[in-house]
Amino acid sequence: QIQIEDDRTGLSIETLRRAMADNLFYILGKYPAIANNKDYYMALAYTVRDRLLHRWLNTYEAYMKPEVKIVCYLSAEFLVGPHLANNLINLGIYDQIRQAVQESGLNLQELINTEEEPGLGNGGLGRLAACYMESLATLEVPAIGYGIRYEFGIFDQEIREGWQVEITDKWLQDGNPWEIIRPESEVYINFGGRTEPYQDDQGNYRVRWIPEYVVKGIAYDTPILGYKVNTANTLRLWKGEACESFNFQRFNVGDYYGAVDTKVYSENLTKVLYPNDEPVQGKELRLQQQYFFVSCALQDMIRIHLTESENLDNFGDKFAAQLNDTHPSIGVAELMRLLIDVHHYSWDQAWDITQKTFAYTNHTLLPEALEKWPLSIFGRLLPRHLEIIYEINRRFLDQVRMKYPGNNEKLSCLSLIDDRGEKYIRMANLATVGSHKVNGVAALHSELVKKTILRDFYEFWPEKFTNVTNGVTPRRWMVVSNPRLSELITSRIGDNWIKNLDELRRLEQFVDDGHFRYQWREVKWGVKQDLANYIEDKLGIKVSPDTLFDVQVKRIHEYKRQHLNVLQIITLYNRIKHNPNLDFTPRTCIFGGKAAPGYYMAKLIIKLINSVAEVVNKDPDVRDRLKVVFLPDYNVTLGQRVYPAADLSEQISTAGKEASGTGNMKFSLNGALTIGTYDGANIEIRQEVGEENFFLFGLKTEDIDQLRAKGYNPWDYYYNNPELKSTLDLISSGFFSHGDCELFRPLVDSLLHSDPFFLFADYQSYLECQDRVSQAYKDQEYWTKMSILNVARMGKFSSDRSIKEYCENIWYAKPVPIEMKD
């Protein structure tokens, strides 16, 4: 009997090969003879997509049962990274596909490398949302990610003459095989206009919103697969379009351009991601984007609920909506509006449902980074929401007055409206009041949230506040990105660690096994060689895998202190120059990261790194002992190359400023040791891996507060520390800028005159710590032991653990395993 496999589901090598050839012909319309790698990538992507559709549809159907609770992750950013390799791993078909691709005369890795990543996020917050979506699916927890389908994601970075240049990210131009448009789930979103009271037929007082214009939201769905389970959850991203009905009149009277205007205007809404990882004050389009996607999401959720239920009474049992920072916090007012104005709930019922539904994650402590919207803009764009927010505030402040009679101080701190000058809506206050739980993203951060920015709310509602330390997915950040290390680990402890990261502990028994340590070093060396090849290929800089790879990759920010790292590098350079035969542990210092286009100081830091690189890399006295590399266009794809190749992870933010950090986790999971401050999740990483396996330096949050209080004077450090002084003087002298003494003056002056992030205060401690790193690296056996122990003890930082905590303490959501009935 001959068995014929279905071309769209079969997994034999022969079927896969034929399916790819079919897709190449019937979807891409190409013969093999004229197809390039991009075409083959697309053909392969469709082949993989075919193989996940059953799971996806079964999953969606299972979630329509009333007893199933769905987690809705509301986020303005989802930095998912390339899909292909991850989907192959999670479907468990990597090896079959590799063979089928090979038998078609192609190379799988090359095809994987041609995928253009969706850059729908800036950095940590967007990437966290992506890791959480993956873990939700792996844990079989029903989830929908709601966000924006930006036509242009985060810009591509080029470096010209050392400066960052921003290039438009046209990620959709060759088509996106991973998304499916869902025209049937369109929704309409109002903006502007006015509100009007009226009495309905029963004589009830109601309000209607008469908008100035309406935009249509169209859903685009992308499947998010769990690892070796049948669950395929949905990432549903919204695109803004004109609603046809709107300007037909104009069109009919012959004003074609007038009609197209509204189309252009509506599509502008979701054109481009704001490339800032701090709020840009008062940009109306940003507020439009936020309201747009949140309203799309809530209307979609309501529609889902009403297909299985008569009313919305149980909305808060059907859905848990997580606010990823305050960006979606307008959702609190929007759900109230939908429940009251559209579905005619009473205020009290609506408020119960709203508070039960929402929870809020805070990601920042910088007070200037708290989102607030000028009342004028807000009221013009969302007049009904302004009324609702006033009413929420009125009722809330009544409660506050009951608890603290006569305390106007408290009222003004807790109010949703900042009316100390120009009036603003405080989005963090709105999110806190409208949620049943508020969490920070690392233990220290959650404590500081309670002590600083939301202190009065904590006093008012202590039980609302909790911590969920961030995590990252080991599927993408180990299995996909570091197959060699993953295979070595699996060869010793089996592959259960991929789903249960605590099992990495079992590696501890091998630290004293010399052969294992040898294999561990071989793996690291090989991965470093790969990165060295990439660097030579892209930048023409030769670096050796025998040197210590010292890496700092993350958004460029003064608080993250890339420039402290630069000061250290210049100091090492000075030492070599003064003592050419210095006993020196050779280092390759690697940087990567984008600066917000309007953040001048961050851009100058990039220029400084490149200028120092230029001088150091070509100085014959250095003799390859020190190399500096700035990797352009750092993104998820590049992260997957970089984390596995690092020996040393730089996590050197000013204490109390980095909410958590997640790159710190990705490095350590790949066997890098950390040099870090007492900040964010560094503290917990150190606690887990053991203080003897972590290079800690610098002031703690309290030390910094004290220093600031007693009057911090950077000049003292400058004059009292000769190495620091000569480092700064060298920059000022124009040594790194072809004699131009002005170029870096703003940076040097900022440090000398205010140093808001305490680089000088931590400089000596950092240098001494780096000396300890250099010493430790000389003893390769010892270093390898520390590296193994780092990996073995990092189980806590799986996003699976984070998601379990959210499910247990915040969402009250349970796994729903998916059966395949094909």
Q: Which residues sit at the interface with ligand 26Q, rule CB under 6 A?
A: 122-125, 128, 274, 276-280, 286, 327, 363, 371, 441, 470, 658-662, 680
Nearer to ligand 26Q, 104 or 122 (CB): 122
**Cβ atoms < 10 Å from Cβ of 169:** 25
Please answer whether residues 511 and 493 qualify as being in contact, where contact means their C-beta atoms are separated by less than 8 angstroms: no
- Least distance in Å: CB of 661 to ligand 26Q? 5
- Least distance in Å: CB of 327 to ligand 26Q? 6
* Parallel/antiparallel/unpaired status of strands 358-361 and 319-324: parallel
How many whole angstroms from its chain centre is CA 506? 30
Nearer to ligand 26Q, 124 or 223 (CB): 124
Nearer to ligand 26Q, 305 or 801 (CB): 801
Across 275-365, the runs of DSSP E, i.e. the strands, are 319-324, 358-361
Nearer to ligand 26Q, 127 or 793 (CB): 127
- Least distance in Å: CB of 588 to ligand 26Q? 26
User: End-to-end alpha-carbon separation of the chain, Å?
Assistant: 23
Nearer to ligand 26Q, 147 or 223 (CB): 147
Nearest to 286 by CA among 386, 171, 148, 81: 148
Secondary element (H or E) of residue 188: strand 180-191
Nearer to ligand 26Q, 435 or 470 (CB): 470
Residue whose Cβ sits closest to ligand 26Q = 124
Nearer to ligand 26Q, 656 or 680 (CB): 680
**What are 146's two structure tokens?**
């709601």
- Least distance in Å: CB of 78 to ligand 26Q? 12
- Least distance in Å: CB of 123 to ligand 26Q? 5
Taking the C-alpha atoms of residue 251 and residue 248, their distance in angstroms, rounded to an integer, is 5
Q: Is the dihedral of CA 99, 104, 106, 111 positive or negative?
A: negative
DSSP assignment string, 205-257? EEEEEE-SEEEEEEEEEEEEE-TTSS-EEEEEEEEEEE-TTTTHHHHHTT-HH
Task: Show the 3-state SS of 707-769.
Answer: HHHHCCCHHHHHHHCHHHHHHHHHHHCCCCCCCCCCCCHHHHHHHHHCCCCCHHHHHHHHHHH
In sequence order, the 6+-apart residues with CB closer than 8 A to the CB of 638 are: 553, 592, 631
Please answer whether residues 671 and 524 qualify as being in contact, where contact means their C-beta atoms are separated by less than 8 angstroms: yes
Q: Is the dihedral of CA 571, 574, 578, 583 positive or negative?
A: positive
* Side chain identity, residue 250: R
- Least distance in Å: CB of 707 to ligand 26Q? 22
Taking the C-alpha atoms of residue 235 and residue 516, their distance in angstroms, rounded to an integer, is 41
- Least distance in Å: CB of 467 to ligand 26Q? 12
* Side chain identity, residue 479: V
Provide the annotated active-site residues: 363, 554-555, 560, 662, 666
- Least distance in Å: CB of 364 to ligand 26Q? 6
- Least distance in Å: CB of 796 to ligand 26Q? 15
- Least distance in Å: CB of 361 to ligand 26Q? 7
Q: Is the dihedral of CA 489, 495, 498, 504 positive or negative?
A: negative
Taking the C-alpha atoms of residue 805 and residue 811, their distance in angstroms, rounded to an integer, is 9
In sequence order, the 6+-apart residues with CB closer than 8 A to the CB of 196 are: 207, 208, 209, 210
Nearer to ligand 26Q, 312 or 646 (CB): 646
Q: Report the DSSP beta bridge partners of residue 696.
A: 676
Taking the C-alpha atoms of residue 410 and residue 404, their distance in angstroms, rounded to an integer, is 8
Nearer to ligand 26Q, 554 or 627 (CB): 554
Nearest to 44 by CA among 111, 109, 130: 111
Nearer to ligand 26Q, 77 or 550 (CB): 77
